[in-house]
Structure 1
């Protein structure tokens, strides 16, 4: 089992990177937030999961142990494979996911591509006793440290919008955590984040 890789990013694809480790190039599939943090030509370290199929060996990589462990939990859910688990981690932070499960927020989970109502209900049913809320974990600052489902939705949408503008998850998440309680809409939240970036420049 390949559990950890450190090397140079030599290529960035839509959903993967190629990591050169001592002259060997490993194709590693990563969630969208993880891909945003990778830079071609720079060093990177990823916790990895090796998925063995009859026709392929596929590597999945994560910047934090928290993401990796949540990925494994998701694959324990009936009908959730590595691809679906990666899509979930690409759409919502580990903290946001945990809060959605703890609050039985089916509507948030069904916003994730490929996750229907029945699948969302099954995820909640099978993981409600296995995942804690954001305050119980030491992962990245993310979307879930909010007091309501609507706040999670707004923060998630704002994060995705900022990522689309070219900002990284590492840049945006701490600022979102700081200003999220000041906004009443996604648009206002984005404006507040941009204002914070302007003040720092």
Structure 2
């Protein structure tokens, strides 16, 4: 089992990256929050989980131990595989997800990619006592899938989904760039620039 990878980021894609470790490029699938913090040509350390199936061996990487731990809890829930868990982590922050679980927000969880009502109920039932405390400011970081977007963020999201980006892919980027943009046009352009680097 590979515990972590430390190397140079050579490529960044929509939902994965190549990390060059002594000349070997490992494709590592990662949540949006991790990919947003990576820079091509810079060194990075990713905590990894190796999924071994009959037809494939897949690496999943995370910038923090906290995201890794939450990912491991999620894939322990019946009906939640690595791809679904990655989608959940890409749809919002770790603390916003914890908040949704603590509040038993089934409706909000079902709006996340790959989550139906029964799966959301299982997540709440199995994880509410395992996921740990929620940060004091978590309430200010809503789960993306629960339509916390408003104003120019919502308008930008509408524009980018119209261009073919998924909400789970686009919203974390839009929310991050919104801190530096005051107009709709500026936010759309800034978000497209970040998303374009992953293509």
Query: Which TM-score band applies after superposition, normalised by the shorter structure?
Result: 0.7 to 0.9
Question: Equivalents in 2 of 1:40, 1:168: separation in Å?
Answer: 20
- What displacement does 1:145 show? 3.8
CA contact (8 A) 1:10 1:19 kept: yes
Q: Are residues 1:78 and 2:116 paired? A: no
- What displacement does 1:42 show? 1.6
Q: How many residues align?
A: 171
Q: Are residues 1:124 and 2:111 paired? A: no
- What displacement does 1:147 show? 9.7
CA contact (8 A) 2:101 2:124 kept: yes
Corresponding residue of 1:176? none
Change (3 A) 1:167 1:124: closer
- What displacement does 1:149 show? 8.3
Q: Are residues 1:55 and 2:55 paired? A: yes
- What displacement does 1:61 show? 0.2
List per-residue Cα deviations over 1:47-84 (Å, max 9, x = no partner): 00111111221110000000000000001100111111
CA contact (8 A) 1:37 1:168 kept: no
Where has structure 1 moved over 2 Å in runs of 4 or more? 144-150, 152-169, 192-195
- What displacement does 1:156 show? 9.6
Q: Are residues 1:194 and 2:181 paired? A: yes
Give the structure-1-normalised TM-score. 0.72
List per-residue Cα deviations over 1:121-164 (Å, max 9, x = no partner): 1110111111123238xxxx8xx2449989x7526995995984
CA contact (8 A) 1:105 1:149 kept: no
Question: Equivalents in 2 of 1:74, 1:26: separation in Å?
Answer: 23
- What displacement does 1:110 show? 1.1
Question: Equivalents in 2 of 1:57, 1:29: separation in Å?
Answer: 12
Corresponding residue of 2:148? 154
Corresponding residue of 1:134? 134
Q: Are residues 1:64 and 2:64 paired? A: yes
The one of the two structures with greater contact order (alpha-carbon pairs below 8 A, sep at least 6) is 2
* Consecutive unaligned residues in structure 2, runs of 5 or more: 161-168, 187-199
Give the structure-2-normalised TM-score. 0.73
Q: Are residues 1:34 and 2:37 paired? A: no
Question: Equivalents in 2 of 1:19, 1:148: separation in Å?
Answer: 31
